[in-house]
Amino acid sequence: MIDTIACLGAVVLFYHARFEWGLVDRPVQRPPDVLAPAVIFTIFWVTLFTFAGLYRSRFAASRFDEIISVFKVVTFGILTLFFLIFIDRLDARSGRLPMMVYWLSMVGLVMMGRMILRTIQKALLLRGLGTHNTLLIGRESLLVEFTEELRKYPQAGFKLVGEVRVDEQECAILHLQEEADWPINDPIAALPEIIAKKNVQDVVLALGSQDHSVLNNVLRICDGLPVALKLVPDFYSVIGGMARTEHMYGLPLIEVYPEPMPAWEESTKRLIDFLFSLIGLLLLLPFMLLIVIFIKVTSPGAAIYRQKRVGQHGREFTMLKFRTMRVDAEATTGPVWASADDQRYTPIGRWLRKLRLDELPQLWNVLLGQMSLVGPRPERPFFVEKLAQEIPLYSRRHRVKPGITGLAQVKWKYDQTVEDVRQKVKYDLFYIENMSLKQDISILFQTFRTAIMGKGQ
């Protein structure tokens, strides 16, 4: 909202400076209205800010860093507008001064608006409003030292809800600000439950160089959960390239598992997902209705199959598919994986799977933002709980949105055993650590080729 007001204000200020106050050479023709260009330019700037990552969550961000980010993005935007407006003119010199005035208006108003917002945010944090619930994990001596540092920087916005103290034998003891009303025997293993019930948003680790196993357990258990993991810098060497250092009002912390994609690629990926799913649903609607008719005619039961799956940050959602198996397919066996010659397929179900057409209803999940076109395939909660215990780093798949297709789906066969899942997890982790639009496009092309050749299962 503050950026919208600033962008509208910059256009109005520029308009008056050029046409009313005579600060800039008057053009031949004066626009009749300032509202239309103000709206158009505001849409341009808000879109650019989104793609540049200026709307990513930056809790207790440095105001100086914000100024630098705004300066760079506005400068890039002004240069883009300059070339778009004057590219078909022989002499662009006449546009330099007006664009300079507009640039100054944008930089000044956007920076001022954001600084006012950050100042208000800082004042609220100092009063305990808008803070992040924080859980500390580490050696008692390091925790005491870090707690003292937190008291010096209340504007950092951390609100301690508890500590997990680890002793020399790596035994963990939980100390909560408010006593838990449920039994906790192993605080490390119970971290997902503690995080959920105490609404923890940040987990800060203050461990020594000898605490490798504790660190690995915490990273494994918290991986994919909706919390930010941060390290007190002593332990940086163990993490390697999975972290980046940040300063929050003087507190040096190391963020573990930063965002896997640059902001502009992440925004572009979501835009592609939205447009592709919307257009796909509209164009394929007659074809999908035909599939529904075939399913209803060839087997009893609903044509659309709804199933709970685990998505980003471990959140469950209802995934849609065209039903390819009998209604009572798991009535006697419980949840099981499909096999290549599965006898539970309906007459049309096997062909829907081979051509990957059973996944078409998931375009609705993509449109809602629950899934992406490309990403690790979402699994059922029953299997997630089982596989997370058997396969190291399995939960890391939940760092990103699940996809209709993914690298594992084009490189490996359909899941039939735990060993198949192990192989797919390797591909999923490779995809997450190397996420890019280029890789997504390549996976989509391979998926289309698999569907056309009927090699799906």
Continuous segment of H or E residues that includes residue 347: none
pLDDT of res. 240: 47
**429 and 321 share one domain:** yes
Q: Are 174 and 166 in contact (CB under 8 A)?
A: no
Distance, CA of 82 to CA of 441 (rounded, Å): 32
Does residue 144 lie within any of the structural domains?
yes
The pLDDT tens digits of the residues spanning 17-67 come to: 777 666 665 554 566 677 888 888 899 999 898 888 888 766 556 677 788
Q: 228 has which bridge partners? A: 202
Statement: residue 211 has pLDDT above 80 = no
pLDDT at residue 75, as a whole number: 92
Note whether 280 and 411 are same-domain residues. yes
Q: Is residue 96 part of a domain?
A: yes
* 399-409 residue pLDDT tens: 899 999 988 88
- What is the C-alpha separation between 418 and 423, in angstroms, rounded? 9
| Of 109-113, 256-260, 437-441, the least confident | 256-260
- Looking at the fold, whether 94 and 119 belong to one and the same domain comes out as yes
Tell me the CA distances in angstroms from 167 to 137, 138, 281, one per residue in order. Answer: 11, 8, 56
Q: What is the spatial distance between Cα 433 and Cα 261, in angstroms, rounded to a whole number?
A: 9
What digits encode the pLDDT tens for the residues 177-197? 777 667 778 888 888 888 988
Q: Are residues 59 and 205 in the same domain?
A: no
Domain hosting residue 174, numbered range: 132-256
Q: What is the DSSP annotation of 97-115?
A: HHHHHHHHHHHHHHHHHHH
340 within domain boundaries: yes
Backbone phi, then psi, for 172, in 5-degree steps? -105, 135
Residues 428-433 have a mean pLDDT of: 86
**Total domains present in the chain:** 3
Residue 420 within a domain? yes
169 and 73, same structural domain? no
Task: Tell me, yes or no, whether 457 lies in a domain.
Answer: no
Residues with Cβ within 8 Å of 79's Cβ and at least 6 positions away in sequence, in order, are none
179 and 323 share one domain: no
Is 143 found in the same domain as 68?
A: no
> For position 207, which CATH number holds?
3.40.50
Task: Tell me whether strands 228-231 and 202-206 are parallel, antiparallel or unpaired.
Answer: parallel
436 with 312, same domain? yes
